[in-house]
Structure 1
Amino acid sequence: VPAGDAVRKEYQTFPVPTPATKMATTTPTPTTTTTDPSTTVPQPTTTPATTRSTTAAAKTRPGLHRVRDMAFRGTSTSASNRNIFRHNTGIQRQEPVATFQRAAGSPAHLAMETDSWKPGLSLFDTGFSSKEELNPKPLESISLGNQNCKVDLSFLMDGSWSIGKRRFHLQKRFLGNVAQALGIGSAGPLMGIVQYGDDPSTEFNLKTYANSKDLRNAIEKIQQKGGLSNVGKALSFVNRNFFLDANGNRGGAPNVVVVVVDGWPTDRVEEASRLARESGINIFFVTVEAAAQIEKQNVVELNFVDKAVCRTNGFYSIKVPSWFSLHKFVQPLVKRVCDIDRLVCSKTCLNSADIGFVIDGSSSVGTNNFRTVLQFVANVSKEFEISDTDTRIGAVQYTYEQRLEFSFDKYSTKEDVLGAIKRISYWSGGTSTGAAISYASEQLFSKSKPNKRKIMILITDGRSYDDVSMPAMEAHRNGVIAYSIGVAWAAPDELEAIATDPVKEHSFFVDEFDNLYRYVNQLIQNICTEFNSQPRN
């Protein structure tokens, strides 16, 4: 582009210019006007073969209208005509078509010609090209994001009629602020949105936007659906359709659903929430302006939040008194969503696990270390929601022989399970780990419920006197997911043989019993990955 002629940017347009005269001749006509060489454009040579004429009647060409560049340059009026290219910000892209005519009184062979020009085209030395061709759309920027908050997040936004337009706008602003505070990125949190009313629909999924800025802009454009507040239906929809690999779900990243509710749902949420939790989804509720006393007769489930979330300890629910104070809860929500350790705990409230501990009680362990092992078992167990329909815990202790400490159906509350673990007495003896695996398979996991994931956690401090490979392979074939934890003199080859593939994620080693605690969170997180790897309901 010649210096002095600014190319119009996409958001600019121009005022309709005054008619300009262009005399096309069979030979180039020099101009006597002195112009700045930096702004003078070479004039194209025209020949009789290329000279065109029209009838006296003005005729607009079909298709893309273009103006000849020499109408504005290379004449005594070129300096003033360049004013056409001055910026005119604030006017959007619905431009008029400007018409230019040759001056009256031109020679007959240069009859009046009408040429049409649509603003939005750029003028160049060698011809004309539309700005769309010359300014391709930039690629969407990708951010790594907040790598300390790697979660896959779905917001269920309330699009029901009860929320109204003004509060719907406040909700969008809240979601945009949350997206900004999270730090969206490919190595951090990813966020999609499902809007619910009578029926839910995905506005965009996890892989649609990879940075907070684009996500915020997309949220602002969401239009309200209307309808009832069918939260249960929306949770079922998300459970079946949202957290899929095709939608950008990442294995190992916690799946989180945040439900924003204006008042209360118009359908039941308990069953849908239970199925979602079984699929490994952490459910948070943000309830705004709860039902007034006179309205409670219309509420389907008065304690719907308690029935929906994993635990009723306040961590998974936020009560907002007014839509106009919603902005105050952005940071508290972000802090909870990014608390990965707590999310790991919440994911273990799935209604599908039977966890059996196989504990080495041989002489090499010793009384004090055995108590440390029991503390480790208790620390892992207490992170699960324990009941007949949730996680169940069982335990076997072994030396040369084996003993069933308690079965899966013995205790149905966390308090009872932790008490039973504390009461396990140290046995002492030799180390027959292979026989212990076979015993656990027969006495614990053969009696597991069909809908339960079977997880074995074996803790040993030495090499076994018998073979562990065949019993472990048999357990694997029967669907038991085996974790091996070795201490001190435990044999690495045996730990690998016991562990389910990939071994790296199912086998751990510590040099001292006092360091067992370091693997509590890691073990729970890996168990959660087992939950997430299962097909959705």
Structure 2
Amino acid sequence: MGTVVLTMKASVIEMFLVLLVTGIHSNKEMTKKIKRLKFNVPQINCDVKAGKIINPEFIVKCPAGCQDPKYHVYGTDVYASYSSVCGAAVHSGVLDNSGGKILVRKVAGQSGYKGSYSNGVQSLSLPRWRESFIVSESKPQKGVTYPSALTYSSSKTPAAKADLWSTPTYTSSQNRPGANPGVQRQDSSGAAFQKPVGADVSLGEMDFWKPGSVLLDAGFVPKEELSTQSLEPVSLGDPNCKVDLSFLIDGSSSIGKRRFRIQKQFLADIAQALDIGPAGPLMGVVQYGDNPATHFNLRTHTNSRDLKTAIEKITQRGGLANAGRAISFVTKNFFSKANGNRGGSPNVAVVLVDGWPTDKVEEASRLARESGINIFFITIEGAVENEKQYVLEPNFVNKAVCRTNGFYSFHVQSWFGLHKTLQPLVKRVCDTERLACSKTCLNSADIGFVIDGSSSVGTGNFRTVLQFVANLSKEFEISDTDTRVGAVQYTYEQRLEFGFDKYSSKADVLNAIKRVGYWSGGTSTGAAINYALEQLFQKSKPNKRKLMILITDGRSYDDVRIPALAAHLKVITYAVGVAWAAQEELEVIATHPARDHSFFADDFDNLYQYVPRIIRNICTEFNSQPRN
């Protein structure tokens, strides 16, 4: 009997072990199957905006082709939720134009979004937005569950699109009915929403552009990312591209209607890529044929959307291709304050030419450059061999622009290749540091006055010297981006009266000159030159011409030769001597040739006569130098 019992117990144990092993094996198989199940990544289109997706963090797959400018992106690194998700991914460098998977994480709204050009995408600037997002590679983070299907903020049905607001979505228990009793109101479309007690809001008073407005803070989610669906956020413009821009388009009869439409589409794409706005670039259009005419100036349209609409309405004028006449027209009329010119911004004129101009452009372009206008030429197709006899100025482009290294000119073999110049052109017109043609002799320098304050000058004559310094300064266009002025006074010792970054207007500079106090002492001109190089010109901007104008009334007590040689390597030196100054010493101090850079007045009262000569020599030298 005992044996039977033991046998039965063994059988039960054996069966239990079999079941246990079978269960473990089954669990392992199940675990393997679960591990083999792939995460379903939602696919979205290029035009899907982050604000349409409610999920705070998600992984999606973008298609190819999202680099297109029509998929708007706002910001850099951190993007406004009105941006295309996939467009932002391309801009940030997480994806290329072939598409792929990305991880998107929502973050708080920003007080400003900076536009930039990156990876073939021009993002736009935006003053503020209520929600942002960040894009990164699609590496799932531990402990985070990503949705296999996205939740959108509104239905795609026409009925839903007709409503301005959806049924209220409550973001916290405080906003739920009962927790915070409120008053039922209706918006203009008849949709009811809950107004929390104490929130004094009407739709007519709503600031639709302001993030965190009362309705949104109360927990209401609009059916669309914007409360006014027909509008997109209006950018203030890209502050890194603050230029005043004129496009001169070819409306001559020879261009034909089809190519004229291609030209207009190119302009519209430029307007979009530039991120037009009052804090960034402004753009106007002049069409030329027999005679030029302005379609709109710099102040007419101050955002890319309105500008594109205006460009679409331009009609062809016909006639000859008188580009030279158009350039002269722009020089005299377009860049005026009345037409929206902002003064401190570089002036740029882009001339499109189909074939060749029917008049001369070289002289008109030179006068435009001397007026501070950067002239760009885009020539399309050009004259064939049997047409070259009709070209008035062979090689007219190289003669018309201020550089011959290709910076200011593009040649396109066919109108169908015009779009390839878009991004290179945008990059160049926004490169304000390289726009040398907008720099004339009067708005491109850092001018340092080195003033002799020795005892031999005397108080009365010193005031005359200061008036001479003021008269020279008056001739220049002074601002923080144009010509800047600084001053050093010296005797045995030296004193920095004011540096280049101290004053940014002509009135402030002239007042500062008047306030300089007479020092009195010896005359150590060599030491003064060294001091000016170290304490004044050391802080000059790299792209500025550096002019030192030294005024002295006597021979120096120290050696000037070595300091003068050091100065010649860094600045252009003008030496102005009065009364007892030594002529040979002035010639040593002055930049070669000395006859153009040294001046001598026998009396302080005659100093004023040299102002026109010094200004003329400064401008002659500037205009004679290649600006490559």
TM-score by length of structure 2 reads 0.42
Highest RCO, 1 vs 2 (Cα 8 Å, sep ≥ 6): 1
- Normalising by the residue count of structure 1, what TM-score does the alignment of the two structures yield? 0.48
